[in-house]
Amino acid sequence: MASRCAGRILCVTSSFPRWAGDSTTPFVLHLAQDLQSLGWQVDVLAPHAAGAALSETLAGLGVERFRYLWPSSLETVCYQGGALVNLRKRKGNALKLPALVAAEWLAVLWRLAARRYDLLHSHWILPQGLVGALSARPLRVPHVITVHGGDVFALRGRLLQGFKRLALGAAEAVTVNSSATETAVAGLHSGLRDCRRIPMGVAVRPIDRDSPSILSIRDRYRVGAGPLLVFVGRLVDEKGCADLLEAVRLLSADLADVSAMIIGEGQDRAELEARCRAAGVADRVAFLGWVAPEAVLDHIAAADVFVGPSRTGVDGWVEAQGLTLLEAMVAGTPVVASRLGGIGDSVRDGVTGLLVDERAPEQIAAVVRRLVADPDLWHRLARQARQTVETRFSREASAQAFDNLFAGLIDHRQRVRRSVGRR
């Protein structure tokens, strides 16, 4: 159903698929698509990267990408794991930030001035929220910042904290994806005009865990009778894949057929594969690399347990929400996850999953044993988890909440303009 106050939105983001089938997590794309289905026209502005088109229609959305360095091979701040990872991995990327921010500001300012946008939607406080604050307010365009977590938990320098407070304070509204993100934002700026908790949603579709496609995955990667574990995420320290691998080693002592699928890419892959060989579990662990988004759910459904062992990062990063956890809940695969950040909003211990301390592979091993030994618990957690996603964490629920927020802001702006015009 179309929004009662549908209009034109400029969505600015530093993370968006560079092309069809790209490995970049598509949650910003999905939200934009869902808003379009509710009657909004959404245009996307993102940084350019080598191989990406400067302008195109992607998945029904108008997408423009701004250049910030030449040649394009130098545009390496974003994508491939995200800006935070790239800044840590390549120190030279920090020198490129001024060019990125300046180019983004000019691109946003020009589009807001030249085109009739009803609202600016910035994903992440830095740099998009700051750029939006410097662009939308002078042009009197309502501005909403969506905080995803890494932008508030990391980047803690005094100057950066000041930029964050400036951006948040200038926005008409701020959305956060979890209770943990909400608390962190409140600690940064306690006087926000409108701060709402709107989790990012995931697609909910029927899952037949005994379908031929899922059974074929299970047969390919399972060793004997199982259990088969699965991890989905970036292969970087803060995602904690090393703790899962150590849990597999511990489990192999009494569960001879334990095995694991590792889905994802990242800078630590070679080190993790070497760790498997050194621990003697290389024959039990399959590194699948990047898997197409439409196939990830089937791989999760093929497993017996989903493990999300996130850790606190060296820069303060924590898992703000964890969309892969929600996907596992949709797939009917019980979740074992770290008691960290915003994970507890969806994974309630003993109700929709089982929680363990971070950096505690022995606890992961213990709860996997518990799930294997208690089929009733396994089925209860799987059932309650899916019900939770259906009611609270679906893409439809997320889009409807954003729709209500945007419509209210535009209605308010129009009433103010009419009131001023009558004076």
Mean pLDDT across 317-339: 98
pLDDT at 261: 99
Q: Is residue 207 part of a domain?
A: no
Q: Is residue 388 part of a domain?
A: yes
pLDDT at 3: 43
Q: Let me know whether 181 and 194 are in one domain.
A: yes
Q: Let me know whether 245 and 174 are in one domain.
A: no
Q: Let me know whether 217 and 172 are in one domain.
A: no
Q: Let me know whether 132 and 218 are in one domain.
A: no
pTM more than 0.85: yes
- The length of the chain is 423
Q: Let me know whether 167 and 230 are in one domain.
A: no
Mean pLDDT across 14-40: 96
Least confident of 112-126, 380-394, 407-421: 407-421
pLDDT at 154: 87
pLDDT at 22: 93
Domain span at 352: 212-392
DSSP state of 353: B
Q: Number of structural domains, the chain?
A: 2
Q: Is the pLDDT at 422 greater than 70, yes or no?
A: no
CA–chain centroid gap for 66, Å, is 22
**What is the dihedral sign for C-alpha 396, 397, 399, 404?**
positive
In whole angstroms, what is the distance from residue 347 CA to residue 216 CA? 28
In 1-131, beta strands by DSSP E: 8-12, 41-47, 55-58, 61-66, 119-123
pLDDT in tens, 352-370: 999 999 999 999 999 999 9
Q: Let me know whether 96 and 154 are in one domain.
A: yes
- Biggest CA pair distance of the chain: 80
Q: Let me know whether 88 and 173 are in one domain.
A: yes
Mean pLDDT across 202-220: 97
Prior bond of 71 cis (ω within 30°): yes
In whole angstroms, what is the distance from residue 320 CA to residue 390 CA? 20
Q: Is residue 94 part of a domain?
A: yes
Q: Let me know whether 279 and 232 are in one domain.
A: yes
Q: Is the pLDDT at 42 greater than 80, yes or no?
A: yes
Q: Is the pLDDT at 2 greater than 70, yes or no?
A: no
Q: Let me know whether 265 and 285 are in one domain.
A: yes
Q: Is residue 140 part of a domain?
A: yes
By C-alpha distance, which of 76, 75, 79, 64 is closest to 26? Answer: 79
The radius of gyration computed from the CA coordinates of the chain, to the nearest angstrom, equals 22
Q: Is residue 218 part of a domain?
A: yes
Average pLDDT along the chain: 95
Query: Which CATH number do you get for residue 197?
Result: 3.40.50.2000
pLDDT in tens, 85-135: 898 888 899 999 999 999 999 999 999 999 999 999 999 999 999 999 999
pLDDT at 419: 73
Cα first-last separation, the chain: 36
Local confidence band at 381 (pLDDT 50, 70, 90 cut-offs): very high
Q: Is residue 1 part of a domain?
A: no
In whole angstroms, what is the distance from residue 143 CA to residue 139 CA? 11
Q: Is the pLDDT at 1 greater than 70, yes or no?
A: no
Q: Let me know whether 167 and 247 are in one domain.
A: no
Q: Is residue 2 part of a domain?
A: no
The pair of three-digit structure tokens given for residue 72, joined into one six-digit string: 């394009």
Q: Let me know whether 24 and 41 are in one domain.
A: yes
Q: Is residue 3 part of a domain?
A: no
Q: Let me know whether 177 and 280 are in one domain.
A: no
